[in-house]
A and B are shown apart, each in its own frame.
Chain A
Amino acid sequence: MDTIVAPATPTGGAIAIVRVSGEDAFHIVESSFKVNLAVKDGKWNATLKKLKIGDEVLDECIVLTMPAPKSYTGENMVEIHSHGSSFIVRKIVDTLIKHGARAAQPGEFTKRAVLNGKMSILQAEAINWLIRSENSKGWEIAKKQLEGEFEAVIRKLRKGIIDLASDMVADLDFSDQVELSMDYFEKKARYVLGVLEKIVKSLERSVVIFNETKVVIAGRPNAGKSSLMNSLLGRDRVIVSDIEGTTRDFVSETVNIGGFRIRLVDTAGIRLNASDEVEREGIRKAYREIEGATVLLLVVDLERGFGDYEKNVLLSANGEIIIVLNKSDRVDDSRISEVMESVTTWVKNEELDCGRVNFAITVAKDGIIHEVVDKLKTILKGILDVEIPVVPQERYLALFKDAHKRAQEVVDAVRNGMLDAASFLLEEIVRDLEFVLGKVDVEEVLDEVFSKFCIGK
């Protein structure tokens, strides 16, 4: 295995670290900088060394040696802690390359760690996301995956699959000696389906957690959208005036609410009869945002009430909804009840899912929006509460979704008395998920058959 080198820290800090990994790591560092590392077998060792290039001292550095296999990559590794000058770092890396090291490709240290069995691919991906996590939830998930919680679920899935596969083999290959009922097969197939379902759901939510959650503010012109936006951001970002249609373009900001990273979008005030083409285009865009919102904040002007305008918006929403009853300072409480009542009745008549619709009463221009924040937190917590800690991976999501679909087909095939097709589909699942499950060899399944059933002539 050749020896690779790369800076491990970004430029600009007081200290910079250069990492070297590979069989010849010690030798290359020694010959590059004319130092003796005095590596001790099986032990980490940190010493202060003057690194020389030619006869000239480049820098005084802490040199940490980590002999294989007790290192991150499982290979011989050296970390050089120098002063944080980009010149020094460049010099160190260039000199090492001149003496036989190779510039590492992105992620190559971790890749080696995986290939050398120091960590699983799932742990490696967790590390990747741990570095990128920007909120407590993301950090928690990445950390749990790193600690192996997701792998425990995968092991459970693998066990469930082998259990089912071996039952199928016993029944299909030793039909005269083992006869299991279709109900029994269905129960076991449903278990596998259930685990896959949880994984898919968790992966989907994880995508939301690690990427941004979109919260979209909509409402009639001058209902108070921009005031709400500003209050949520805690500053005057959006120009607020009493003239309708002040906000023509969308305003979008990232904000952290209750540990969740959120992209807050303020749509242009949608008028039902837009006068010019520019505004009509704006309206189309606004509807697209509303459709894609994780949470929709529909601002209703209590003075004007709940009308066709609001109904159109609600019918376009796909996510959770908070009806923000704004300008409560200007109306009587009975008016608030009246508006709420009319919304509830309409929602029921339209057979919308009532659970999706929440109310919050606000005076946005004065920053009285705590009800919105509380509702938002509760909703986000509900959406983002993952059962299985797993970092988002588009590839995983696609494969697990496929596997989930197949598992549903397994259940269907069993129900239709096609155990032959069910066993084929189960093998497809195993092959498609091979990269996480590990290979399931036919001998492993047969071993399980013979340990479970007393088979033989």
Chain B
Amino acid sequence: MFDDKYDVVVIGAGHAGIEAAAVVKRMGKKVCLFTFDLDTIGLTPCNPAVGGPGKGHLVFEIDAMGGVMGELVHRSYTQIRVLMTSRGNTARVLRAQIDKKMYQLEARKILEEMGVDVKQDEVVEIVIEKGRVKGVKTALGKLYSCEKVILTAGTYLDAEIVLGFKKWRAGPSNHMASYALTKRLLKHGVEVTRFQTATPMRVDGRTIDFQLMKPLMPDVGITSFKFGKKVDKIRQVPSYLTYTTKETVEVIKQHLSTSPIVIGNIAEAGPRFCPSIDRKVINFPEKPDHQIFVEPEGFNTVEWYLQGLTTSMPPYVQHKILESIPSLKRARITRYGYAIEYNVFPPFKQLKPTLEHINVKGLYFAGQINGTSGYEEAAAQGLIAGINAALSLDGGKELVLSRSSSYIGVLIDDITTKSFTEPYRLYTSRVEYRMILRASTAYFRLTPIAYRLGVVDRKFYEEVERLRKEIQRTVELLKLKKIAPTKKVNEKLKEVGSTALSKKVSLAEILKRPEFNYSLLKRLFPEYVPELSSPDAEFEVETEIKYEAYIKRQLSRVWKREKFEKFEVPEGFDWNLLRGKISAEALDELIRTSPSSGKEIARLARVSEEDLVFLYQFFRDKKFRLRILGMKAEEL
């Protein structure tokens, strides 16, 4: 009856799908990845960039767990820059510009090399019997058996493009989209809603006046998104920065009536962090100079991406917008900006923290269909869904990363414990434990976990461990080695503008001074301060010492917080029983959201830490509960 048999089927070969398929294969399972078009695996239909605050952390974490995104970026970048160099060590992060076509070719190659089965066919139905995945049916009439399905369909489900007054059925960049799958899923207790997002126009680089723009130069010699690989200097290209003008704002104001936001032919739920230029003019009418980052789409094309000019206003208005900007006055549009509407399955109350659906055993959701935005967020979910699908095939314990373990953990915790009305982006401000979850510690935090799960090999794990030990050893050394306030030492300190010592202090204490960094310490005390295996290792030693107090404080907070989140709320619990026991404000929110666990409660906006501790006691301690409710045991 079945045409073929797989352990896991992955639907959609975007960033989530690639990671899911790759990791399932790594874990030794038979996997098939379905896509509309083998030539567009790993498509990046919006900006040609990966990384930045939050997102960059995710890429390192994916790399630490044996994902492929870091490797793909490393194979295809057109430039890599270090951001946030003046905001403190823990804020520093990378952003890469990538060659889109090269990224796709490398993605396909990597999957082929790994031996993932990739098929060009449309899955039109997930076969579900008695709340359990049985297989998938394709548009070509094929039937494949599988125990697990990972749905990573991105923005392709019931997708509609909006451009000016026009609206038509199509996926991103007019690719094929899926109009059958969702309808059939809804029969199985799956809930859906609608989000939108948009992208700017692309222009021919030969018609851009780069002289009028500020070039943003790449960095060299730094470590790439792939562990142990360096960014080489030969093949990098700059991106550019330019601005809109008063005229731009005027043009947009004049033509606002043609904006889909104003017309209302588009879903409301668009990303606030990625507003269209028309939205910006509506919200900040006084601001004339909006930034436009001009980024190359790749080495082998003349197309450039205009980050900041997102719009789905009609083509003639898009021309007028460009004409109002001196550096883009003559720019020839190759593709117009547009908006796209698509189906989203809100994970809150629908997905387990493993990303498996609560009503359908064996069905996992990852990526933009979960209402997130961004290639990196999608890839992170794909990786976790893949790991959990593979683990559950063997009946093993599934992987749930805590908020204190990783940005990935925060991302998945957020989307499964809170509801969002706009596409979700992982800001660093959402990550309460960011003093611990530094990009530089991703490997130390996650590679051991990945190694235990069999996702990364021993060699990689040992390299990470060696680096970790080197850092640890050096930190201890600097704490132990004391420097006496000799004349020679104080003269050296004076030379670099640092105050003299009055008593014996450790090298660590000296390194803590704001004017010091590791290389300066090395230069002043070469007899004690070792040269480490890489600048990254030295940077990490410096961070651990300079941020020691904050790191310690954060660790103690983690311990307390995680303890009090560990409780479940019985199904159908009547929150009214607690009226008068906790604040009315908190109670209202509890009644409104009816949370099912301490984790969900901890994320509520009105429930304080004190309330949480009370509820922890209430749901964990029966005697306490009875006393609070003034009941005898048999009444409950």
| A residues adjacent to B (C-beta < 8 A) | 1-2, 75, 102, 112, 114-117, 168-169, 171-177, 413, 415-425, 427-428, 431, 434-435, 438-439, 441-446, 450, 454-457
User: Is the pair A434, B274 in contact by a Cβ cutoff of 8 Å?
Assistant: no
Contacting residues, chain B, for A176 (C-beta < 8 A)? 52, 83, 291, 293
B514 & A417 in contact (Cβ 8 Å cutoff): yes
Q: Choose among B88, B427, B580 the residue that contacts A112 (Cβ–Cβ < 8 A).
A: B580
Q: Does B130 touch A at the CB level, under 8 Å?
A: no
B584 is contacted by which of A117, A413, A417, A435 (Cβ under 8 Å)? A117
The CA of A257 and the CA of B434, in the complex, are separated in Å by: 55
Contact of A424 among B279, B435, B579, B585 (CB under 8 A): B435
The interface residues of chain A lying within 8 Å CB-to-CB of B428 are 172-173
One of A116, A175, A439, A457 near B580 (C-beta < 8 A): A116
Interface CB pairs A-B, < 8 A, 5 = A112-B580, A418-B546, A420-B90, A443-B605, A456-B272
Q: How far is the CB of B80 from chain A (nearest CB, A)?
A: 15
10 nearest interchain CB pairs?
Answer: A420-B88, A418-B88, A441-B605, A416-B514, A1-B580, A420-B91, A456-B275, A117-B584, A454-B284, A419-B87
Q: Which of B274-327 contact A (CB under 8 A)?
A: 274-275, 279-280, 283-284, 287, 290-291, 293, 307-308, 310
CB distance from B574 to the nearest CB of A (A): 13
Given contacts A169-B427, A419-B87, A115 and B310 within 8 Å (CB-CB)? no
When distances are taken between beta carbons in the complex, the residues of chain B under 8 Å from A102 are 630
In-complex Cβ contact of A173 among B86, B427, B547, B630 (8 A): B427
Whose C-beta in chain B lies nearest to the C-beta of A434?
Answer: B608
Bound-state CA distance A418–B280 (Å) is: 31
B457 at the interface (CB under 8 A from A): no
Return A288 CB to nearest CB of chain B, in Å.
33
Residue picked from B274, B429, B606, most chain A C-beta under 10 Å: B429
**Given the contacts A420-B90, A441-B605, A454 and B550 also touching, CB distance less than 8 Å:** no
- Min Cβ gap B580→A in Å is 4
B84 partner, pick from A117, A175, A424, beta carbons under 8 A: A175
A191-B585 Cα distance, complex, nearest whole Å: 30
**B610 near A424 (CB under 8 angstroms)?**
no
Partner of A115, one of B550, B581, B630: B581
Interface residues of B in 558-617 (CB under 8 A from A): 579-585, 605-610
Contact among A415, A421, A450, A456 for B547, CB-based, below 8 A: A421
Instruction: Tell me the B residues contacting A by CB distance below 8 Å.
Output: 47, 52-54, 83-84, 86-91, 272-275, 279-280, 283-284, 287, 290-291, 293, 307-308, 310, 427-430, 432, 434-435, 514, 546-547, 550, 553-554, 557, 579-585, 605-610, 630
Identify the closest chain B residue to A440 (Cβ): B605
B90, B287, B581: the one contacting A454 at CB < 8 Å is B287
Chain A nearest CB from B600 CB (Å) reads 14
User: Contact at A420–B580, with CB atoms within 8 Å?
Assistant: no
Residue on A nearest B553 in the bound complex, by CB: A428
Q: How many whole Å from B132's CB to the nearest CB in chain A?
A: 36
In the complex, are the beta carbons of B583 and A173 less than 8 A apart? no
The answer on a CB contact under 8 Å between B88 and A421 is: yes
Q: Are B427 and A446 in contact (CB under 8 A)?
A: yes
Residue of A nearest to B291 (CB): A177
- Residues of chain B within 8 A of A446, CB atoms compared: 427, 429
Smallest Cβ-Cβ distance to B92: which chain A residue: A420
Complex Cα spacing A177 to B243, Å: 12
Known: A2-B630, A115-B584, A456-B308. A172 touches B84 (CB 8 A): yes
Q: B88 contacts which of A117, A174, A419, A457 (Cβ < 8 Å)?
A: A419
Q: Are A173 and B287 in contact (CB under 8 A)?
A: no
A4 to chain B: closest CB distance in Å?
10
Contact B84 A421 (CB under 8 A): no
Question: Contacts A172-B87, A416-B514, A444-B605 given: A115-B582 contact, CB under 8 Å?
Answer: yes
Chain A residues near B287: list those with CB within 8 A.
454
What is the CA–CA distance of A169 and B582 in the complex, to the nearest angstrom? Answer: 31
- Report the bound CA distance from A75 to B580 in whole Å: 10
Contacts of A456 on B, CB cut-off 8 Å?
Answer: 272-275, 279-280, 308, 310
Please give me the residue from chain A that is nearest to B577 by CB atom.
Answer: A1
Partner of A420, one of B87, B273, B610: B87
- Contact present for B607 and A173 (CB under 8 Å): no
Asked whether A117 lies within 8 Å of B290 as measured between CB atoms, the reply is: no
CB closest chain-A residue, reference B47? A457
Q: What residues of B have a CB within 8 angstroms of the CB of A116 in the complex?
A: 580, 584
A424 touches B429 (CB 8 A): no
Chain A residues closer than 8 Å to B52, beta-carbon distance: 176
CA distance A65 to B404 in the complex (A): 53
Contacts of A431 in B (CB 8 A): 557, 609
- Give the interface centre of A418, A438, A457 by most chain B CB atoms within 10 Å: A457
Knowing A173-B429, A177-B291, A421-B88 are in contact, say whether A434-B514 is a contact too (CB < 8 A). no
Given the known interface contacts A169-B429, A427-B432, A456-B274, the answer about A439 and B605 at a Cβ–Cβ threshold of 8 Å is yes
Chain B residue numbers with a CB within 8 Å of A435 are 608, 610
Q: Is B87 a contact partner of A175 (Cβ separation < 8 A)?
A: yes
Q: Which residue of A lies closest to B427 (CB)?
A: A173
Residues of A within 8 A of B90 (CB): 420-421
Least Cβ–Cβ distance between B419 and chain A, in angstroms:
11
Contact between B86 and A1, CB atoms less than 8 A apart: no
Q: A417-B514, A424-B435, A450-B272 are in contact. List 15 more A-B contacts (CB 8 A).
A: A2-B630, A115-B581, A172-B53, A173-B53, A176-B52, A418-B89, A420-B88, A420-B435, A434-B608, A435-B608, A438-B606, A442-B427, A444-B605, A454-B283, A457-B293
